[in-house]
Amino acid sequence: MNVQPGEQANEEIEITTRSPEETRSLGEILGRNINQKTTISLSGDLGAGKTVFVQGLARGLEVPSDYTITSPTYTIVNEYPGRLKLFHADLYRISGGISGAAELFDIGFEEFYEANGVIVVEWANRLAPGELKEDLAVSISTVDDLTRTFILFFYGRGKTNLINLLKKTFEISNPDNPET
Ligand code: ADP
Ligand code: MG
Domains of the chain: 14-134+157-173 (3.40.50.300)
38 Cβ below 6 A of ligand 1? no
pTM: 0.90
Residue 92: its pLDDT value, please? 83
Give the residue among 103, 139, 135 at the shortest CA–CA distance from 119: 135
Q: Which of 52, 125, 140 to mutate to test the pocket of ligand 1 (most atoms within 8 A of CB)?
A: 52
Counting every residue, how long is the chain? 180
Q: What is the pLDDT of residue 180?
A: 43
In sequence order, what are the beta bridge partners of 120? 40, 88
Task: State residue 51's pLDDT score.
Answer: 97
CA of 90 to the centre of ligand 1 (A): 15
How would you write 57-95 as a 3-class SS string?
Answer: HHHHCCCCCCCCCCCCCCCCEEEECCCCCEEEEECCCCC
Q: Please give the number of the atom of ligand 1 that sits closest to the Cα of 146.
A: 20
Identify the H or E element spanning 1.
none
Answer yes or no: is the C-beta of 56 below 6 A from any ligand 1 atom: no
SS (HEC) of 38-55:
EEEEEECCCCCCHHHHHH
pLDDT for 114 equals: 87
Q: For residue 43, give the ligand nearest its CA.
A: 1
Which stretches of the chain score pLDDT less than 50?
A: 97-98, 179-180
Cα(144)–Cα(91) distance, rounded to whole angstroms?
Answer: 25
Query: How high is the pLDDT of residue 97?
Result: 40
Q: Decide: 128 in ligand 1 pocket, CB within 6 A.
A: no
